[in-house]
Amino acid sequence: MGEVTTDPRRRVPRTDAVLADARLRAAAARIGRPAVKAAVVRAQDRVRAGDLDPAAVADAALAALPDTPGGLRPVLNATGVVLHTNLGRAALSEAARAAVADAAGHTDVEMDLDTGRRARRGRTALAALAAAVPGAGGVHVVNNGAAALALTATALAAGREIVLSRGEMVEIGDGFRLPDLLASTGARLREVGTTNRTTVDDYAAAVGPETGFVLRVHPSNFVIRGFTHTPDLAELRGLSVPVVADIGSGLLAPDPLLPGEPDAAGALHAGAALVIASGDKLLGGPQAGLLLGERALVERLRRHPLARALRVDKLTLAALQATLTGPPTPTWQALHADPQALRERTGRLRDTLAAAGVDVDLVASAAVVGGGGAPEQELPSWALALPEAYAAPLRRAAPPVVGRVVHGRLRLDLRCVPVTADAAVVDAVLAVAGG
Ligand SMILES: *Cc1c(COP(=O)(O)O)cnc(C)c1O
C-alpha cells in the first residue's frame, strides 16, 4: 500500500468491496446476485483494459444491469396497434397475471389432490376451453398456432397429401411461410385452384386416397379483391376427408366489431373437423395454439409422440384458463374502446401537456388490430401528436412509451394504454420536453 502504481490490474477494486455498494445490494435483492456480480466482473474487465476509471466500477455495473430479472421490460403500447407482435401481442388481464403468479410455484397441474393420483395435465383449462366452444367434441392446447399446424400435419398427413388452395399459401410474418412449415413435417402439399379463384370442384378433383386432410387458411394479414372466389367452409362438407380450418385470430365466437374475422364456433358449425387458432391474438391470452374439433381427431393429435414436444407450460395453462373465464381482456377492451371517451381522455392529456408548454396536438387517428388480424379494418381513434424527435427518448423512458411516427409527428394513441398509466405518459413526455 502507499506505493503508487500505474498497472491498472493493481487498481481494480475488489469484487466484494464493489458488491457492498448499497445500490448494488438492492439490485441483487431484486434481480439476483449472480447477475449483479457478472456486471461487476465486466466492469472490472474494462478497468483492466484501461477504458474505465477504477472509481467508476460500481456505477458502470449498475448502469449495465437489466431493469428486470426476466430481461423483458414492461412498455406502454401507444402505437395504436392492439396486437403488436414486437411488443408481445396480447397483454394479459389482471386475472391471467394473477393466475400465472399462482401457478409459478409447485402446483396441482398433473395431480388430483383429492385422490393423490396423477390427473390429466391442464384439465381445468381444457375444460374451460371446451365450455367456451360447446361445438367442439375435443380440445387440445400446444405451444402456438404454428405448433398446432405442425402437429396436425404430422399426425394426419405425414407421407400423404394436404390439399390447399394456391390463394392460401401465405406468409404470416418475419419469414414464417405456412407451406414451408407444412412441408417440413413430411406431408406433401397438393396445391389447387389459383391465387384468386378456387372452387369446390378444384378441391373435389384433388381429394383421393392420398389425402390426409383439406386445409383452409384464413388469409389473416392481407386481402385479395376483385375477380375472386373461395368456397365457404360449408361447401366443403361433402368431401370425404377432414377439413382443417386455420382461423389464425383465435376468436372463439363471432365479434360484431370484426365481421371479417372467422371464429372457432362458426367454423365447426360450418363443418370443419378441426379448428386451429392462436391464444395470444384476438382471444387476448397467452401464446398458445388451440386445437378444437372432432373428439377422435383431437385424441389422435393428443396421443401423437410429437405432442409431448409441443406441450404447454403450467404458466400458459393458468393464463389461458383465467383468460377464458375471467373479465374482458385488455385486448377486448382496447378493441371496443369508445372513440368519444378516447377523445376526451386524450384531450385531457393534451391540455396538461400544452399548459406545460409542450408542442402537442390532439389528432384523429386510426388504430388497427395487428398481429395478423383484420388487415383492412381501422378503428377510429385519437392520439397526441408530438415532435418526431421525442420518439427515441420516449422509448428509453421508464417505463418506455412506444408510439408511431406519422407524417413527421410522433403519435401516442392511448387505446392500448391502461388508464392507470396516463400519468406515466404525461411524466415521460414532460421529462423529454424538459430535455
Ligand atoms: C398467426 C397465424 C398463425 C401462426 O400462429 P402463431 O400462434 O403465431 O404461431 C398461423 N396461421 C394463421 C392464419 C395466423 O394468422
Lowest mean pLDDT segment, chosen from 35-44, 99-108, 215-224 = 215-224
Domain with CATH 3.90.1150.180 in the chain: 76-87+332-433
**Residues in CB range of 242: below 8 A, 6 or more apart:** 156, 213, 214, 273, 274, 294, 297
pLDDT on residue 333: 97
Measured between alpha carbons, how far is 198 from 6 in angstroms, rounded to an integer?
Answer: 79
pLDDT at position 161 over 50: yes
C-alpha cell at 403: 408510439
pLDDT on residue 176: 86
Measured between alpha carbons, how far is 93 from 206 in angstroms, rounded to an integer?
Answer: 45
Which atom of ligand 1 is least distant from the CA of 219? Answer: 13
Q: Please report which confidence band the pLDDT of residue 245 belongs to, taking 50, 70 and 90 as the band edges.
A: very high
pLDDT on residue 6: 63
C-alpha cell at 54: 477504477
C-alpha angle with apex 218: 283 to 189, nearest 5 degrees?
Answer: 130
pLDDT at position 274 over 50: yes
Share of the chain above pLDDT 90, in %: 87
In whole numbers, what is the pLDDT of the chain averaged over residues? Answer: 94
Partners of 213 in beta bridges = 162
Which atom of ligand 1 is least distant from the CA of 372? Answer: 15
DSSP state of 2: -
The answer to whether the CB of 153 falls within 8 A of the CB of 274 is no
**Residues in CB range of 71: below 8 A, 6 or more apart:** none
The answer to whether the CB of 371 falls within 8 A of the CB of 323 is no
pLDDT at position 234 over 60: yes
| pLDDT, average across residues 152-167 | 97
At 339, which amino acid appears?
A: P
Q: Give residues (CB < 6 A) around ligand 1.
A: 144-146, 172, 217-218, 220, 246, 248, 278, 289, 372
Q: What is the 3-state secondary structure (H, E, C) of 316-368?
A: HHHHHHHHHHCCCCHHHHHHCCCHHHHHHHHHHHHHHHHHCCCCCEEEEEEEE
Measured between alpha carbons, how far is 139 from 126 in angstroms, rounded to an integer?
Answer: 7
pLDDT on residue 346: 98
Residue with more model confidence, 304 or 398: 304
pLDDT at position 1 over 60: no
C-alpha cell at 421: 398509466
Task: Compute the distance from residue 15 Cα to the ligand 1 centre, in Å.
Answer: 48
Domain with CATH 3.40.640.10 in the chain: 94-327
| pLDDT, average across residues 120-124 | 96
Which atom of ligand 1 is least distant from the CA of 371? Answer: 1
pLDDT at position 74 over 80: yes
pLDDT at position 39 over 90: yes
At 303, which amino acid appears?
A: R
Residue ID of nearest Cα to ligand 1 atom 12:
248
pLDDT on residue 151: 98
For 399, other C-beta atoms within 10 Å of its C-beta total: 15
Lowest mean pLDDT segment, chosen from 44-53, 285-294, 414-423 = 44-53
Task: Compute the distance from residue 294 Cα to the ligand 1 centre, in Å.
Answer: 21
pLDDT at position 5 over 60: no
CA distances (Å), 111 to each of 99, 124, 303, in order?
Answer: 17, 12, 19
pLDDT on residue 130: 98
pLDDT at position 3 over 60: no
Residue with more model confidence, 239 or 172: 239
pLDDT at position 371 over 70: yes
CA distances (Å), 120 to each of 109, 124, 307, 308, 316, in order?
Answer: 8, 9, 14, 13, 15
C-alpha cell at 104: 409459478
| pLDDT, average across residues 331-360 | 97
Residue ID of nearest Cα to ligand 1 atom 2:
248
DSSP 354-413: HHTT---EEEEEEEEEESSS-TT-EEEEEEEEEEGGGHHHHHTSSS-EE-EEETTEEEEE
pTM: predicted TM-score of the whole model, two decimal places: 0.90
CATH of range 94-327; options 3.30.930.10, 1.10.1200.10, 3.40.640.10, 3.90.226.10? 3.40.640.10
Q: Please report which confidence band the pLDDT of residue 2 belongs to, taking 50, 70 and 90 as the band edges.
A: very low
Which atom of ligand 1 is least distant from the CA of 146? Answer: 9
Count the residues in the chain: 435
| pLDDT, average across residues 320-340 | 97
pLDDT on residue 9: 64
Pocket test of ligand 1: the residue of 172, 222, 312 to mutate, having most ligand atoms within 8 Å of its CB, is 172
Residue ID of nearest Cα to ligand 1 atom 6:
145
Residue ID of nearest Cα to ligand 1 atom 5:
145
Which atom of ligand 1 is least distant from the CA of 217? Answer: 13
* Closest of 424, 426, 387 to residue 75, by C-alpha: 424
pLDDT on residue 429: 98
Lowest mean pLDDT segment, chosen from 6-20, 109-123, 145-159, 406-420 = 6-20
pLDDT at position 4 over 60: no
CATH topology of domain 76-87+332-433: Aspartate Aminotransferase, domain 1 (3.90.1150)
Query: Residue 219 burial (CB < 10 Å; 0-12/13-18/19+)?
Result: middle
